[in-house]
Amino acid sequence: MSGHSESVNAASHQPDRAWYELAIDVHAEAVEPVSALLASFGYNDGVAIDEPYVQDGDGDNLQIDVEKPFTIHTWVADSDYRPEIVEEIRTALWHLGMMRPIGDLRVSTLAEEDWANAWKEHFTVHRIGDRVVVRPPWLAYDAQGDEVVVELDPGMAFGTGLHPSTRLSTLGVEQVVSPGGRVLDVGTGSGILAIAALKLGAAHVDAVDVETVAVRATVENAARNGVANKVDVRHGSVGPGEPFQGEYDVVLANIIARILIELADAVVVATRPGGSMVLAGIITEREADVVAAFSKRGADVITRRQEEDWVSLVLRRSDAS
Encode pLDDT of 241-287 as tens digits. Answer: 999 999 999 999 999 999 999 999 999 999 999 999 999 999 999 99
Encode pLDDT of 125-176 as tens digits. Answer: 889 999 999 998 888 899 999 999 999 876 555 566 778 899 999 999 999 9
pLDDT reading at 9 higher than 60: no
Q: Quote the pLDDT of residue 62.
A: 65
Higher pLDDT, 45 or 51: 51
Q: Which residues pair with 317 in a beta bridge?
A: 299
Instruction: Taking residues 99-113, report their average pLDDT.
Output: 82
Q: Quote the pLDDT of residue 205.
A: 98
Higher pLDDT, 52 or 316: 316
DSSP for 105-168?
A: -EEEEEE---HHHHHHTT---EE-SSSEEEE-TTS-----TT-EEEE--TTTSS--S-SHHHHH
Map out the domains of the chain with their CATH numbers: 5-113 (3.30.70), 120-317 (3.40.50.150)
Q: Quote the pLDDT of residue 180.
A: 97
Higher pLDDT, 67 or 93: 93
Q: Quote the pLDDT of residue 76.
A: 86
Instruction: Taking residues 61-78, report their average pLDDT.
Output: 85
pLDDT reading at 301 higher than 80: yes
Task: Please give the Cα distance from 303 to 299 (Å, whole number).
Answer: 12
Residues 6+ apart with CB under 8 A from 234: 206, 207, 208, 215, 243, 244
